[in-house]
A and B are shown apart, each in its own frame.
Chain A
Amino acid sequence: MTDTAAPAIKTAEKPLFEGAEWNFDTIQRVHDTVEKIAVGEMGLDVYPNQIEVITAEQMLDAYASSALPLLYKHWSFGKSFAQQEMLYRKGFRGLAYEIVINSSPCISYIMEENTALMQTLVIAHAAFGHNHFFKNNYVFQQWTDAEGILDYLDFAQGYIAECEQKYGHGEVERLLDAAHALQQQGVFRYPRKKVPDLKSEERKFRERQLHEERVYDDLWRTLPKASTPGAPRDSREEERRKALLQLPQENILYFLEKTSPMLKGWQREVLRIVRNIAQYFYPQRQTKMMNEGCATWTHYTIMGTLHDRGLIPDGAYLEFLQSHTNVVFQPEFDDPRYSGLNPYAVGFAVMRDIERACLTPDEEDHRWFPDIAGCGDPIGVLKDTWHNFRDESFIQQYLGPKVIRDFRLFDLSDDSDEPTYLVRAIHNERGYREIRNRLAWHYDIARMEPDIQVVDVDLTGDRRLMLRHRAIDGVMLEEGDARRVLGYLADLWGYDVLLTEVDAATDMILKEHKAGPRRRFG
């Protein structure tokens, strides 16, 4: 296709690049043009951008440390590197085109092997799509501190290296193993009063160190006074103790850091580092689908605009369409390639559906989305969703019948007491709402991950730590792993631990797991 054959709506602007080659001027030009569209026309609000060019090998390196530019050293990252490298070398898996970091400035890594078109796509996707989402979504605002994360990671890396020097690799590794096992239980799921401020973390560390030298342990203070045998337990005493220990507590790492009787100061600090990093990733896990949807919708819109204005040649646009369709491809459930719902596909589809309902609504949209149908401002509506929703609530609010039909979604119920699966709902009038609810649950991290809390400490007896798993719909923990994690927990706590699994609906005890310390820390 030549320029003369191009449709007449194109303006006479010169394309941003010719062919696949690029240099730093190209990147700068592309960024500035995309910025004009994204910020100037679409009104996106982003952190300052920093684009870093890396090689494929460096990209593999970046994979290995949870995509963070600097992270402390641990064998598990080496393991994931070995695995990624294997898959990559054997050609089972390509590399991501980019990695973007929720920080200010927002860092996007782009690979030198990418073509000029891919770099344009990546800049639109990461440097503006993800960047806008990071900066504006309420979950990120509530939980992460984009300004401070790089400094904090730097501090954490240095601190852990220092601990390795002081206390030996083995000791630190064992502690990190234990802490990693409990990492998912190291986040606060419900907002605290204070926005986290990672910059002050390092300063606070010094203060804590001073404080901890005059160790003050709630456990000892709250030891009940000797009471006459057989006297009824003072229930107010128990309540006071639980309040002091902030029980029940869902953040097990936080609880251990604050109350474990055995741990030394540096060990508490390492637990704190692990849980701070887990907390940093928590919003990303809650908004994976929306985040990718937002970035995909943004790049799709921007690339379309660039092409309309003749800034991208037709051939390159075809290349874009090919990678775009790869990204949003959703294999069906019986396809060998199926490995769950593709967050890019779902997010993009729902957002396109919102756009459609805003611009060309039909009767069904008026019924399902009375607030937005035909409002004519898709970007405004989408920005509102990007700011105020997470995956679960977004699906609950915006998954419409058209998307359900397009994906031909159905709900399959697997009851372990039944010999067969049950198809509970399909894409019809009766099933839409059921599917929407179920899929929303599917995106609800609090529901998909086991709900485990520290409920009490048996202070009168053997100081046993008691935890409870609320088994929703009777789904219990995988026993082998649970036992191993409990072993780590007992090492950290220093005394026995008891995990009780109770049915969420009936409070019936389903199972108990016990573990004692093998080699306690401290």
Chain B
Amino acid sequence: MHIIDRRLNPKGKSLPNRQRFLRRAKALVRDAVHESSASRGVRDVEQGGELSIPKAGVSEPTFHHGQGSGIRDHVLPGNKEFVEGDRLPRPPGGGGRGTEGSPDGGGEDDFRFALSRDEFVDLFLEDLELPDLVKQKVAASESVSWHRAGYSPSGAPANMALGRTMRNSLSRRIALKRPNKAEIRRLYEEIEDRERKGEVSEELEALRAELAELLQKTSRIPFVDPIDVRYKRFDPKPKPIARAVMFCLMDVSGSMTEDMKDLAKRFFMLLHIFLARRYKHVDVVFIRHTHTAQEVDEDTFFHNRETGGTIVSTALEEMMRVVRERYPVSDWNIYAAQASDGDNITADAGRVLSLMQEDILPICQYYAYIEVGRGDGGLPGHHARRESDLWSTYRRIMGPEVPMAMRKVNHRREIFPVFRDLFKKDGDKAVGRVP
């Protein structure tokens, strides 16, 4: 008998099958992911979870007997009061309480299964992308990869190519006729043999001379000569990487209610997850503003509470400052997303307009603006709410060639659709249009 410990074998042997299944059911699973994401919090997007898809999409048909025709017999255990010849009413709906071990396993139920976190997020973000990631820059040092490229006569000892070195050594030894060991040993033995017999002859002398010559030759021609040595050569190959930076601008002024800030934060959180998972080389810069603006770290951005008046242009100026200092336009793809309730002091409108048109939009690949509403989804009466200051300012900028999109979000459930709308992969992007 053998006992074999297979616990160390990799688990997840069925992973390829699982991937095939997900690929097969992809359209269904994707729909289900989008549907279920609407009811989740942003944090939960990263949790994965349970899904159900219609069974019909992944059915495996076989020939089997159907219901409702012919005569069938069931032998059942646990008779209590029936006697031979009893007639029992057929339960409504034909099926019966499990009397028939229904061969298809029970009709057109939904097929439920759990998705892992990665699978869920990948599917959720699958068809989203940053638009126009074009300014691909070859960065200098860190993005170089090394490739094998033949042999070189110099290099580090660790890279010595032994096979090649010995080959060179062998061919050199053959070419220079370096005597081999067997030949020398044969001569030694023969001389010894003759000496033992006490032979004194010219022949023996000749042999001695021959041996001396061979030994000399051996010492002159080394076994491995420095000219034989070869090293594996590696060539540096520059790797192009797309470098991008995303500016997250959030209004935290007093006019923003807690609900609105919550909406804005959810939006940025989603954006953050999206960028972190899809683009390795994306820097994110967080800027929040009241009547002054400041660059903050992620934690402060999402969790700190601060309040004050509203001057939008301060945020835009702060963004330009950071761009000038750290992100030269020639090397970086620049993106920005702004969230605000749309309030701005009227005097600031001109400043915003000129900053946007002259400084920001020309250097941005894409600028997304979402305006958070009051979360009431528009009360009766409030329906024709007046356009906000910022919205009307931005509207004046919009045009078909402007890489900018604006959306309104009034409720938590709208965040996912709006987000998807803003970062959809295909051509009908939100760019340059006002909904």
Contact = CB atoms under 8 A, between A and B. Distances in A.
A335 interface: yes
B112 interface: yes
Contact of A426 (B1, B50, B83, B90): B83
A332 B64 CA distance: 26
Contacts of A426: 79, 82-84
A85 interface: yes
Interface in A78-92: 78-79, 81-83, 85-86, 89
B60 A431 contact: no
Contact of A28 (B1, B17, B85, B90): B1
Contacts of B76: 333, 409-412
Given A85-B113, A85-B114, A476-B65, A408 B87 contact: no
B16 interface: yes
Given A86-B114, A478-B65, A482-B63, A423 B20 contact: no
A77 B11 contact: no
B100 to A, nearest CB: 8
Interface string B1-23: 11111110101111011111111
A30 to B, nearest CB: 10
Contacts of A409: 75-77, 79
Contacts of B65: 450, 475-478
Contacts of A57: 11-12
Contacts of A24: 3, 5
A192 B98 CA distance: 38
Nearest to B69: A476
Contacts of B383: none
Given A83-B111, A105-B2, A420-B90, A435 B18 contact: no
Contact of B61 (A28, A425, A481): A481
A408 B77 contact: yes
Contact of B113 (A31, A86, A410, A427): A86
A295 to B, nearest CB: 18
Interface string A433-449: 00100110110000001
B97 interface: yes
B72 A473 contact: yes
A248 B25 CA distance: 38
A422 B84 CA distance: 8
A275 interface: no
A475 B14 contact: no
A262 interface: no
Given A24-B3, A81-B17, A82-B114, A341 B75 contact: yes
A366 B99 CA distance: 34
A291 B67 CA distance: 30
Interface residues of A, number: 101
A415 B78 contact: no
A77 B17 contact: yes
A481 B70 contact: no
Interface stretch (A68-76, A253-261, A315-323): A68-76
A89 B114 CA distance: 9
A168 to B, nearest CB: 13
Task: Tell me what chain B mostly uses at the interface: helix, strand, loop, or mixed.
Answer: loop
A480 to B, nearest CB: 8
Contact of B78 (A85, A408, A420, A422): A408
B36 to A, nearest CB: 15
Interface in B29-70: 50, 58-70
Nearest to A65: B14
Given A52-B6, A477-B63, A435 B75 contact: yes
A409 B2 CA distance: 44
A288 to B, nearest CB: 13
A108 B348 CA distance: 78
A85 B3 CA distance: 27
A180 B73 CA distance: 29
Nearest to A442: B75
A41 interface: no
B3 A423 contact: no
Contact of A181 (B14, B62, B87, B101): B62
B48 to A, nearest CB: 12
A334 interface: yes
Interface stretch (A43-51, A198-206, A238-246): A43-51
A413 B90 CA distance: 11
B104 A481 contact: yes
Contacts of B73: 411-414, 424, 438, 441-442
B74 A412 contact: yes
Nearest to B80: A408
A64 to B, nearest CB: 4
B2 A51 contact: yes
Given A408-B78, A414-B74, A420-B88, A339 B101 contact: yes
Nearest to B13: A61
Nearest to B52: A86
Contacts of B435: none
Contact of A413 (B9, B71, B96): B71
Contacts of B74: 411-412, 414, 442
B4 A51 contact: yes
Contacts of B64: 449-450, 477-478, 481
Nearest to A511: B69
A85 B18 CA distance: 11
Contacts of A422: 85-88
Given A407-B78, A473-B71, A55 B7 contact: yes
Contact of B22 (A49, A73, A78, A478): A78
Contacts of A58: 6-7, 9, 11, 13
Interface in A327-358: 330-335, 338-341
Contacts of B61: 181, 480-482, 484-485, 488
Nearest to A169: B20
Contacts of B63: 184-185, 449-450, 452, 469, 477, 481-482, 485
Given A77-B21, A423-B82, 4 more contacts: A61-B12, A112-B7, A333-B98, A426-B83
24 contacts: A53-B6, A53-B7, A54-B7, A64-B14, A75-B58, A77-B14, A181-B62, A183-B62, A333-B98, A334-B97, A410-B82, A411-B76, A412-B73, A412-B76, A414-B90, A414-B96, A422-B88, A423-B84, A423-B88, A426-B79, A431-B84, A475-B65, A479-B66, A484-B61
Closest 7 CB pairs of A and B: A332-B78, A78-B21, A474-B70, A478-B66, A78-B17, A475-B70, A82-B113
